[in-house]
Chain A
């Protein structure tokens, strides 16, 4: 078990009786520790990107890594995302596992050509001869009142590219274990770090990772399922707490892997609750919520009591910091979505 310090909710992760090595840390520290251990474990791993070396990253995720592992394995690059990812492709061909960082989500756009046309396809194109073991860390989503290009939600863009895997952790425990897991896989993984959660502390069970693939039910309930990922998971847990005051028991499903989506886990939860609200920061149209809703329709059509509700950002360019509170789904918008699925009646 570990306790998410932020929400004060307790989540079952492991059967009782497992060895306990639980440390309280922020997501920032958890990611730093995961990188440290990965570089120690696998001498063929490299960390690079803008300001990740000497400075230790603008969010301090790579703090101390260059001092410990040297500038051959942890190094600064020019401000050229296409080059950062292009170099990752070449290194992968030569047998290296790159863990590059694009400093902010909005800076991934210049690298899209490398990500889509090379990283996503190389394994397929080479019939498995050239896998692309690349773990691309992308500080993602809004919530820190940053200027344009510094807060975006690109999960649907990445999830649409065949050959890529996409994951977003919601807690320090998830961040620590998912990053270590992603960096041990031969697949290209887009690792979307919810930057607004970097500073929130939580307990990390270092020894018991729990299931690394699929989704996770982080709160059980029976009236409706809230589906979320990244920073929206903690907000949905807050909403579930408030809904309980009104006698509504919400299940919260942390989707975790956005590609592939855990259709089984999604169907299991919604088959039980028979109602679903999917919450994301990205714009509504063609957002990942549409995919989630489609999977639920395919698998739970006969048990579903109401159309799947989407509570999302608006169909506008991600706004600058001052407008963030209006844009990102807030507690009331999520509650309205729940109200709509609860009061829906057929006929």
Chain B
């Protein structure tokens, strides 16, 4: 297993820091990519950051009320070693999901 760390991302408009409001995941949780991760507040607004990574949460930085600077560590994940190697990621195999249902009955009379 490997560890991968993510810093607090650039929240735009020259904002340099954010205050942690509430962590929505805990250390040890297995989480999905884009799952809501943490609520932070900047001098402009409050935002919910989605997870950039799927994996097991090893460590989170910042208690509620604490400040984190953009670029400083926010979260560390443990991820499987079977990454694609040098470029890209191994595609995740998921059960096929659909929204569309076929309704037309083929008209094969003639």
A144 touches B91 (CB 8 A): yes
**In the complex, what's the smallest C-beta–C-beta distance from A309 to chain B, in angstroms?**
13
Within 8 A of B (CB), among A242-257: 242-243, 246-248
A249 to B99, CA, bound (A): 18
Within 8 A of B (CB), among A138-188: 143-147, 150-151
A147 touches B98 (CB 8 A): no
* Total residues of chain B contacting the partner, CB 8 A: 23
Residues of A within 8 A of B108 (CB): 274, 305
**In the complex, what's the smallest C-beta–C-beta distance from A273 to chain B, in angstroms?**
9
B98 touches A242 (CB 8 A): yes
**In the complex, what's the smallest C-beta–C-beta distance from B75 to chain A, in angstroms?**
19
Residues of B within 8 A of A223 (CB): 106
Given A274-B108, A335-B98 in contact, is the A146-B87 Cβ separation under 8 Å? yes
1/0 per residue, CB under 8 A from A, across B82-101: the answer is 10111111110100111111
B1 CB–A CB distance under 8 Å: no
A89 CB–B CB distance under 8 Å: no
**In the complex, what's the smallest C-beta–C-beta distance from B60 to chain A, in angstroms?**
24
B2 CB–A CB distance under 8 Å: no
**In the complex, what's the smallest C-beta–C-beta distance from B92 to chain A, in angstroms?**
10
A242 touches B90 (CB 8 A): no
Residues of B within 8 A of A224 (CB): 106
B89 touches A199 (CB 8 A): no
- Of A195, A238, A243, which one neighbours B102 at CB under 8 angstroms? A243
User: Which B residue's beta carbon lies closest to that of A337?
Assistant: B100
User: Which B residue's beta carbon lies closest to that of A345?
Assistant: B107
Given A223-B106, A342-B106 in contact, is the A331-B96 Cβ separation under 8 Å? yes
User: Which B residue's beta carbon lies closest to that of A59?
Assistant: B85
A15 to B104, CA, bound (A): 36
The chain B residues found within 8 Å of chain A, CB to CB, are 82, 84-91, 93, 96-108
The chain A residues found within 8 Å of chain B, CB to CB, are 6, 58-60, 104, 143-147, 150-151, 195-196, 199-200, 223-224, 238-239, 241-243, 246-248, 274-275, 305, 321, 331-332, 335-336, 338-339, 342-343, 345
